[in-house]
Amino acid sequence: MPFIPHTDYEVKEMLNAIGADNIEELFDEIPAELKISELKNIPSQLTEMEISRLMHERANQDNTPICFAGGGAYDHHIPAAVWEIATRGEFYSAYTPYQAEASQGSLQVIYEYQSMIANLTSLDASNASLYDGASALAEATLMAVRANRKSKSKRILVPRTVNPVYRKVTHTLVKNQGIKLEELNFDLQQGLIDMASLPAEPGDITAVVIPLPNYFGVLENVDELTDWAHKHGALVIAVVNPISLSILTPPGEWGEKGADIACGEGQPLGIPMSSGGPYFGFLTCKQALVRQMPGRIVGRTLDLDGKPGFTLTLQAREQHIRRSKATSNICTNQGLMVTAATIYMAIMGPDGLEKTAIASHGNNKKMLEKLTSKKSITRTFNQSFFHESVINIAADNASVLKKLAANNIVGGINLKSDYPELGDAILVCATEKRTVKEIDFFTEQLATAIAS
């Protein structure tokens, strides 16, 4: 019996102690007519060797293609030590640190994580994590509505340059709470929020979402946008890529007063792409908004002897205490991913992270030069970028991406359904991992696929 240690003799002893004849008797409070005799449509059990064979077959079937896609999930190098340590049983098989004295390891990791991510975003405080970047944006908008007490409109401006899936998820999660998400359009040449489209008299706005880099990889005019939002009484929610923050202006320094809340996808910090999860969402904010944050928060305090230690804090915000009045329904978050990200940031250090960002940006630049040397490939936007960009191709983008897949290349993300006005556009990305040889190969294969 997999993972059940009981011997027949022990079962007999235990039943004797309980005063039951057999195990089935223990289920005698369940109405008999509800019970089932068998799980018909479940296959029979496999040994570890058998499941191992099957999973190796399936993993090999999926192979390890060369990846030029980003859009929120990035193929960065992960130091071997990160997952060696994160999957130690003491981290892997512990739970939410309810018993602080027996969970100082996990608690200190989260405190260190909160410190690092607050520094990276240049804001004051961080929570212990949310599910992913998309749901972090949803929680950030809910937080902004709670925090901006002067605003009554519950209107949030969300530019179309924000990842379209993040916008969809945010809509799903906030639509039943009377919050209005209003789109801001972008300039077709620049790939940036159209500053001219910002109304002079916007009325009561609760918050403005500003991405850096935006979904197209382009760098928005964050200072002007932040100041505009603040001038009109809105809070600023930054959506940022954590690797890029080692070279780009952090949200806390945008404009005159800095963004109020920053959030984003933590995956670039040492988490494998793994079909989209598990990742983690980060959320940081100015000190004044700390009590409006959703989710777990770890604080440093003293024990009875005056020795420093760590504990979950500000729990009066949370669902297990406040129930229907909680700041969010979130309970379990993404602890293990945060553990990995913390180890990643410690091992990379500020210099390693900066080099990763510079090399990724450099590779994207090289890739764009190579790609646009082909007549059939053009750059869609003319502004500065981080490590991904939009290209237009002279063929149907869906069928071209299919052809590339057949040659073991993930050629980027098809933008047609979310941005039909861009035509046959593809969002491509090159991280620090891509070699010159891979970029050359991609260029030739893409040109061939377009021509064929």
Closer to other proteins by CB, 111 or 442: give it: 111
* DSSP E strands, 403-444: 409-410, 413-414, 425-429
Closer to other proteins by CB, 38 or 256: give it: 38
DSSP state string for 118-144: HHHHT-SEE-S-BS-HHHHHHHHHHHH
Compute the least distance from the CB of residue 322 to other proteins, in Å.
7
Cβ neighbours, 10 Å, residue 299: 13
Residue 422 is a binding residue for other proteins (CB under 8 A): no
- How many residues touch other proteins (CB under 8 A)? 204
Beta strands 235-240 and 261-265 are: parallel
> What DSSP designation does 398 have?
H
Q: How far apart are CA 27 and CA 333, in angstroms?
A: 33
Residue 214 is a binding residue for other proteins (CB under 8 A): no
Compute the least distance from the CB of residue 201 to other proteins, in Å.
27
The tokens of 29 are what?
């409070």
* Paired residues of 156 in beta bridges: 181, 207
Beta strands 207-212 and 261-265 are: unpaired
Residue 436 is a binding residue for other proteins (CB under 8 A): no
**Binders in 290-349 for other proteins, by CB under 8 A:** 290, 296-305, 307-311, 313-314, 316, 318-326, 328-337, 339, 342-343, 345-349
Binding-site string for other proteins from residue 216 to residue 255, where x marks contact by CB under 8 A and - marks none: ---x--xx---------------------xxxxxx--x--
| Rg value, the chain, Cα | 25
**Residues near 82 by Cβ (< 8 Å), separated by ≥ 6?**
270, 340, 343, 344, 347
Q: Which of 239, 234, 103 is nearest to 162 (CA)?
A: 239
Residue 108 is a binding residue for other proteins (CB under 8 A): yes
> Hey, CA dihedral for 316, 318, 324, 327, is it positive or negative?
positive
Sheet of 180-184: strand order equals 125-126, 281-285, 261-265, 235-240, 207-212, 155-159, 180-184
Closer to other proteins by CB, 90 or 201: give it: 90
Closer to other proteins by CB, 168 or 375: give it: 168
Closer to other proteins by CB, 88 or 375: give it: 88
Instruction: Calculate the alpha carbon distances from 33 to 29, 37, 189 in Å.
Output: 11, 11, 67
Q: How far apart are CA 88 and CA 180, in angstroms?
A: 44
Compute the least distance from the CB of residue 382 to other proteins, in Å.
11
Binding-site string for other proteins from residue 355 to residue 374, where x marks contact by CB under 8 A and - marks none: xx-xx-xxx-x---------
For residue 179, how far is the Cα from the chain centroid?
23
Give Dmax (Cα) for the chain. Answer: 83
Q: How far apart are CA 16 and CA 131, in angstroms?
A: 46
Identified binder of other proteins from the candidate list 210, 225, 391, 413, rule CB under 8 A: 413
The window from 122-130, 144-152, 190-198, 440-448 that contacts other proteins (CB under 8 A) reads: 122-130
Identified binder of other proteins from the candidate list 233, 352, 378, 416, rule CB under 8 A: 352
Closer to other proteins by CB, 18 or 451: give it: 18
Q: Is 355 helix (H, G, I), strand (E, B) or coil?
A: helix
Instruction: Calculate the alpha carbon distances from 315 to 31, 334, 400 in Å.
Output: 40, 18, 51
Identified binder of other proteins from the candidate list 207, 238, 410, 428, rule CB under 8 A: 410
Compute the least distance from the CB of residue 21 to other proteins, in Å.
13
Q: How far apart are CA 258 and CA 227, in angstroms?
A: 8
* Paired residues of 108 in beta bridges: none
Compute the least distance from the CB of residue 450 to other proteins, in Å.
17
Closer to other proteins by CB, 102 or 451: give it: 102
Residue 161 is a binding residue for other proteins (CB under 8 A): no
Find the distance separating the first CA and the last CA of the chain, reported in whole Å. Answer: 56
Identified binder of other proteins from the candidate list 69, 208, 229, 240, rule CB under 8 A: 69
Residue 182 is a binding residue for other proteins (CB under 8 A): no
Residue 83 is a binding residue for other proteins (CB under 8 A): yes
Residue 111 is a binding residue for other proteins (CB under 8 A): yes
Identified binder of other proteins from the candidate list 172, 185, 373, 435, rule CB under 8 A: 172
Residue 116 is a binding residue for other proteins (CB under 8 A): yes
Closer to other proteins by CB, 103 or 206: give it: 103
Residue 275 is a binding residue for other proteins (CB under 8 A): yes
**Binders in 16-45 for other proteins, by CB under 8 A:** 17-20, 23, 26-31, 34-36, 38-45
Identified binder of other proteins from the candidate list 75, 260, 388, 424, rule CB under 8 A: 75
